[in-house]
Amino acid sequence: MRQYASIRTKMLEAFRRRMYFFMAMVLIVFTMFLAQLFYLQVVKYEEYSLRSRSNMESNIPIPASRGEIYDRNFSLTEDNPVIASNRSSFNITTIPANFDDDALLEQTIKKLSRLLQFDYQSIIDQIKNSNPWDRFVIKEDVEFDKIVKIASYENLFPNIDWGDAPVRVYKHDNMFAHAIGYIGSINRDEYGNLKNAGYKHYQKIGKTGIEKEYDMLLRGVDGYVRRIVDVKNRMEGEEIGQHPVSGNNIVLTIDYEVQKTAYEAMAQRKGSVVVLKPATGEILCLLSKPDYDPNQIISKDNAAILEELYKDKDKPFLNRAIQSRYPPASTFKLVTTISALEEEKWDPERKLYCPGKYTLQGYIDRDFYCYSVHGSLDMRHAIGKSCSVYFYQLGYSIGPTIILKYANYFGLNNKTGIDIPGEIDGFIPSKKWKLKTFGQPWFDGDTLNLSIGQGFIAVTNIGMANLVSGIVNEGVLYKPHLVKSIRSNNNQGIISSHTPEKLKEVPLSQTTLNVVKQGMRIAVKNGTAARLGYIKVPICGKTGTAQTRSRRKDDASQHAWFVGFAPYDGKPEDSVVVVVMVEYGIAGAVSAVPVAEAVFNKLYRLGYF
Amino acid sequence: MAKKNELQNINFPLLVSVILIVVIGILMIYSTGFDPIDKLNNGLYKKQMVWFGIGFVLMMTVALINYRLMGDYSLYIYIGILFILVLTTIFGTPVRSARAWINFGFFSIQPSEFMKLGYIILMAKFLEIRERDIQNFRELMIPSLITIIPVFIIYMQPDFGTAMIFIPIFFTMLFLGGADVSQIGSIISIAAIGLLLPMILTYTEWVGQGNEDLNPIISFFKGSDLLFIIAGALLMIAIVAFVLHFFFIKKIYRKIYIPSMVFSMGLFLSVFIQHFLKDYQKKRILVFLNPTLDPHGSGYNVIQSKIAIGSGGFIGKGFLHGTQSQLGFLPEKTTDFIFSVVAEEWGLLGSTILIALFAVIIFKGIQIAFEASDKFGMLLASGITTMFFFHMIINIGMTLGIMPVTGLPLTFVSYGGSNLVMSLIAVGILLNIHMRKTIR
C-alpha cells in the first residue's frame, strides 16, 4: 500500500510537471495574441483604417461646370450674350470591377441598353477594353425620367451609378466653331500627357480652339459624392465629399455682332475673315468657312455626323484663318512697295508705263501680263489700281533680296502666335531654298512673280492681318489674341486681363507709310475696292486675286483677297483691320470686297470709328 | 446529489467569466444581425439567448451530478453519441454540403459538438485506468482508435475543422495522462512528415503553374512510386534493426529502428494523404501560410478580418458601428469571425477584456485540474480546458491571421446552439470537479 502511495505521488508530480508545461504554452499563446492585437490595432491602425474606408466608400465624381464664354461686350450688370455655356444633364456610370462575375455585368448592361437605347455590343467591348477599376461612363446626357426608373429598380441595375454631367452648349451653333472649338472625351494620349495635371480618364477636354487652349482655366475642379456602400454595393448613405468648383469664365475679344455679320456675309463662300484692332492685337472676328456645328460634335449620337464631316472634301474642320496658306497675290504689293521705299529710296512720284504686259528679256523672252492696260501711273496709283506691270518693273529693279527681307520683317514666314492651337507658318521662299528644292537658281521670273505675290510665296490670313496692322501701327506688330479677360466663376473677380504683346517692330519711315496708305486709299476711292467708297468712314484697302489651280473643275481658279483698314487718317488705337480671303473666288474685287463691305458697315454702325 | 456545502463551493470566477463571455457573444450576435440598410435585426440573438437558457440549466444540473458517475458510464456515453453521429453523417440534412446536423424543424443539433465531450470523458477514464501502463507503446493503440473513429466520421460529413480539433486534444491529454514523450513525439513526427510533403507538392504545383521546369519534379513525386519505394526501404531497415535489437538488445539498434520506422510511416501517410485530402483542403492550408495566394477565397476572409480588427483601433468603432461587419465585408461574422466584430466595434480594449475572460476560464480550468480529488477528475478537467483552449487559439488565431482558416466556432461567443450548450455542460463538469475537490 505504501508502495502504491509512493507511485501515486510520483505520478501526481509528473502530472503537475506536465500541467506546468501546458500552462507555459497557454501563457505564450495569450502573449502572442495580445501582441498581434496590439500590432494590428495600434501599430497598423492607420493602414487598416484606410483599407476599411476604401472598402465601404465609393466616390462618385461630380463634374465641375465648365466656364462660360462671352463676347467682348461682357458687362457685370447686363444680361450678357453667352457664346458657350452648359445645361444640366445626367450620365450613367459603373465600376466594372464591382461586378462579381462577367455574366452579371453583361446582363446588367443588356438591360440598360434596352432602357437607354444604346448599342450593347459596342459598350460591352469598350468596358472589356478598359481598366475595370476605373469608372466607366456608359451613357451621357440621360433624361431625368430614365434616372428615376433606374433608381427605383436599383436591384435590377446593381453597381450602376448616375450623376450630374453638364452638357456644353454652343449657343450660336456654327458661327464660332473654329474660334471656340469644342470639347470631347479625353483620349489615351491626352490622358497620358495630362494625368499629372489632375485630368481624369472620364473627363472632357477641349479639342480645338479656345476650348483647348484655355482648357485648364475653363475646366474647374470636379467634386465628388462619398457614398457608403455595403459589400453588394447597396447604398447606405451619401454625403458630399467635395463640392465641385466651376471653371473660370472667359471674355473674348470677339464682337458677336461683327462675327455674325461676317458669318452672314460669307454665306456659302469658302474662306476666312479676320478682323482685329491693330493697336492691341484684339481679334474682333475670326471666321472660317465651311464650318460645322460643335453641338452636333459633342452630342451623344455624333458618329454619323463626324464621319460625314471627316469625309467632306471641303475639310470643314480646317480653320482657314490660321491653318491654310495661300499666295497673297496683289496684297503683297504692299510689301514690295515698302521695301522699295525703305531700302532703295524709290521715288514714289516716278511714273512707269503699263501697256498691259511686261516682257522679261532673256534667252527666251517671256511676257508677264497685267489684268488691264493702265498707261502711265505713279506708285500710289499703281497700288490703287493694282497695276502688275508697275510692280514687275519695280521688283526687277530692286531685286528679290530686299522684298524677301521685308516679308520676313513682317513675320509672314512665321506663326503670329494667336492664342488658339493649330496655327501654321506662312512661307517665304529664298534663293537658297529654291536651289535646294528644285536644284535651280533664282530666276528673274521668280522675282517678277514674287513682286506681285505670286509664285512660291504663301501666307495665312492672320499673317496678312498682322502685316496690315504693322502698317497701321507704324511698324509695330502685336500678337493677335482672342481672350480679353478671364473672370472667376461668378464673374466677380478678374483672374487675368490681356495686355498687348509686342511681336516685333519694323522700322518704317513716315513717307513710306503715307505712300502705302494713300495707295490703299486710292484703291477704295476709285480703284479695285471702289465698292467700299460710299461708306462714311475713310477706308484703305487692297485687293488680291491669286491664280491657282483647283483640283475640282467647277471651282473658280482664283483665290480672292481683301486686306484693309479704317479709318485712313486715324490713330492706330481707333483703327480696325479687316482681312477677307475667299477660296476659289472670282476676284478680290468681286468675291472678297462685298464681305469686307458688310463688315466695315457693321463696324461703323457699332461705333468702332 | 450534491450536498449543500458543495454548492457553496461553486467556482464563482469561472461561472461569472463564462456568463460575461456569453453575454458579450449575444451582444455581438445582435450587432451582426443588424442590417444597417433595412434597419432590421435577423433575431438570431434571441435564439442564442434561448440556447443559453437551456445550456445554463443543463450546466447547473451537470454540476450537481457526481462526475465520477460519468466516468463509470463513459463508454456508453461515447458509443451513444458516436451512434447518433454516424446516423447524422448518413441521414443528416446537408447544410452547405455537410451532413452535420440533425434537424428538428425549429432547431437543429450538431452531434459532432457533443462528440468532443463524450470523447474527452472516455479518454480521461481510459487514461485513469491505464495510468501505470500508458508508457507502453502498445497502450496507445486504444486511445488512438478512440480518436480516429470520430475524427474519420466527422471528416466524412465533411467538417474538416471539427475533425481536426480532436488531434491537439488527443496529444495534450496523452501528454498530461503520462504517456512517453518520445512516443508522442514519434506520432507527431509521422503526422508532420505525412502532412508536410503533400503540402510542399501542392504548393509547387499551384504556384509553379505553367512553369515548365517544375513539371518533371512534380510528376516524379506525384507518381508516389518513389515515395513508396523509399518508405518500403525504410520499413525494411526498421524491421531488420528491430529483429537485431530483439536478439542482441543493443541501444544502437533502437536508435536505428525508431527513426527509420517514424520516417517510413510518415512517408506512407503522405502517400495516403496525397490521395485522400481534397485539393481545396490542401490549398486552404497553403492559403493560410500565404493569404495572397487566394485573395478571393479563404484568403479574402482573413484579409477582411484583419482589416476589421486593425481598423477597430484602440477603443473601436462603437457598438453597431463596425463598418466591416455591418456592411458585410467581413464574412461568417456571426460564427467563425465573431472575434473580429468584437475587435472592430470595441477595439483593443474590448478584445483584450474578452481574451482576459478566456484566460480566467482556462487558468481556472487548470487550477481545478490541479486540485481535483482523483486522477479521472484531473484528466477530465484538463481535457475540457484543453478543448476550450484549442478552440480559442484556433479561432482567434484565424481571425488574427496567425492560424489557418478552419471554420471552428469561438466557444461561448459564436452563434450556434450545440457548441454553446456543449461548452456550458463542459463548464458544469468543471464546476462539478471543483465542488468535489475535498473528497478524497
- Kindly determine whether residue B343 and residue A234, on different chains, have CB atoms separated by under 8 Å: no
* Residues 170-209 in B contacting A (C-alpha not used; CB under 8 Å): 172, 175-176, 178
- Kindly determine whether residue B366 and residue A23, on different chains, have CB atoms separated by under 8 Å: yes
Q: How far apart are CA A542 and CA A529, in angstroms?
A: 7
Cell representation of residue A494: 478678374
Of B352, B370, B400, which is closest to A16 when you measure between CB atoms? B370
- Local confidence band at B294 (pLDDT 50, 70, 90 cut-offs): low
- The model's pTM is 0.68
* Strand blocks (E) in B3-148: 34-35, 40-41, 93-95, 98-103, 108-109
Amino acid at site A283? I
- Local confidence band at B7 (pLDDT 50, 70, 90 cut-offs): low
- Local confidence band at B289 (pLDDT 50, 70, 90 cut-offs): low
Q: How far apart are CA A256 and CA A266, in angstroms?
A: 15
Average pLDDT over residues B411-432: 95
- Kindly determine whether residue A34 and residue B355, on different chains, have CB atoms separated by under 8 Å: yes
Grid cell 472649338 is found at: A181
- Kindly determine whether residue B366 and residue A26, on different chains, have CB atoms separated by under 8 Å: yes
Q: How far apart are CA B27 and CA B300, in angstroms?
A: 25
Please compute, for residue B123, the number of CA atoms within 13 A of its CA located in the half-sphere on the CB side: 37
- Local confidence band at B385 (pLDDT 50, 70, 90 cut-offs): very high
Expressed in angstroms, the distance from the first to the final Cα of chain A is 136
Within 8 A by CB and 6+ apart from A312, the residues are A290
Q: How far apart are CA B205 and CA B203, in angstroms?
A: 5
pLDDT at A465: 95
pLDDT digits (tens, 9 = 90+) for B221-238: 665 667 778 888 888 888
- Kindly determine whether residue B307 and residue A42, on different chains, have CB atoms separated by under 8 Å: no
Q: How far apart are CA B119 and CA B124, in angstroms?
A: 9
Grid cell 458697315 is found at: A601
What is the three-class DSSP state of B409? coil
* Interface predicted TM-score of the whole assembly (ipTM), two decimals: 0.86
Cell representation of residue A299: 452630342
Amino acid at site B131? E
What are the chain A neighbours of B322 within 8 Å (beta carbons)? Answer: none
pLDDT digits (tens, 9 = 90+) for A365-383: 888 888 888 889 999 999 9
Amino acid at site B406? T
Q: How far is CA A428 from CA A332, A408, A409, B183, in A?
A: 12, 7, 11, 102
Of A19, A51, A234, which is closest to B37 when you measure between CB atoms? A234
Q: How far is CA B276 from CA A257, A548, B151, B152, B270, in A?
A: 88, 90, 14, 12, 9
pLDDT digits (tens, 9 = 90+) for B95-141: 777 788 888 878 889 999 999 999 999 999 999 988 778 777 778 88
Interface test with A, best of B327, B388, B395 (most A CBs within 10 A): B327
Q: How far apart are CA B376 and CA B387, in angstroms?
A: 16
Angle subtended by helix axes A461-472 and A333-344, to nearest 10: 40
pLDDT at B194: 78
pLDDT at B440: 45
A236: distance to nearest CA of chain B, Å?
6
Angle subtended by helix axes A388-398 and A333-344, to nearest 10: 40
pLDDT at B290: 57
- Distance from the Cα of residue B239 to its chain's centroid: 35
Q: How far is CA A236 from CA A229, A263, B147, in A?
A: 5, 55, 49
pLDDT at B426: 97
Within 8 A by CB and 6+ apart from B18, the residues are B361, B412, B424, B427
Of B36, B37, B382, which is closest to A19 when you measure between CB atoms? B382
pLDDT digits (tens, 9 = 90+) for A471-500: 999 999 999 999 999 999 888 889 899 899
Q: How far apart are CA B331 and CA A466, in angstroms?
A: 73
Q: How far apart are CA A75 and CA A80, in angstroms?
A: 7
Grid cell 498687348 is found at: A500
pLDDT at B105: 78
Q: How far apart are CA A182 and CA A293, in angstroms?
A: 9
Kindly report whether the peptide bond that precedes residue A132 is cis, defined as omega within 30 degrees of 0: no
Cell representation of residue B161: 475543422
- Kindly determine whether residue A41 and residue B378, on different chains, have CB atoms separated by under 8 Å: no
Q: What's the mean per-residue pLDDT of chain B?
A: 85
Residues of chain A with pLDDT under 70: 1-5, 232-233, 300, 549-556
- Kindly determine whether residue B351 and residue A234, on different chains, have CB atoms separated by under 8 Å: no
Expressed in angstroms, the distance from the first to the final Cα of chain B is 17
Cell representation of residue A441: 537658281
pLDDT at B209: 57
| Closest CA relative to residue A328, chosen from A462, A149, A226 | A462
Measure the CA angle with vertex B429, ends B427 and B434; round to 5°.
95
Q: How far apart are CA A326 and CA A272, in angstroms?
A: 12
Largest CA distance in chain B: 80
- Kindly determine whether residue B312 and residue A41, on different chains, have CB atoms separated by under 8 Å: yes
What are the chain A neighbours of B400 within 8 Å (beta carbons)? Answer: 33, 36-37, 40
- Local confidence band at B1 (pLDDT 50, 70, 90 cut-offs): very low
* Strand blocks (E) in B44-111: 93-95, 98-103, 108-109
- Local confidence band at B214 (pLDDT 50, 70, 90 cut-offs): low
A218: distance to nearest CA of chain B, Å?
39
Q: How far apart are CA B268 and CA A77, in angstroms?
A: 95
Cell representation of residue B303: 484579409
Q: Residues, chain A, total? A: 609
Q: How far apart are CA A582 and CA A326, in angstroms?
A: 10
What is the three-class DSSP state of B262? helix
- Kindly determine whether residue A22 and residue B312, on different chains, have CB atoms separated by under 8 Å: no
A224 beta partners: A61, A242
Cell representation of residue A439: 536644284
Q: How many CB atoms lie within 10 A of CB B278?
A: 10
pLDDT digits (tens, 9 = 90+) for B173-209: 999 888 888 888 888 888 788 777 777 777 666 665 5
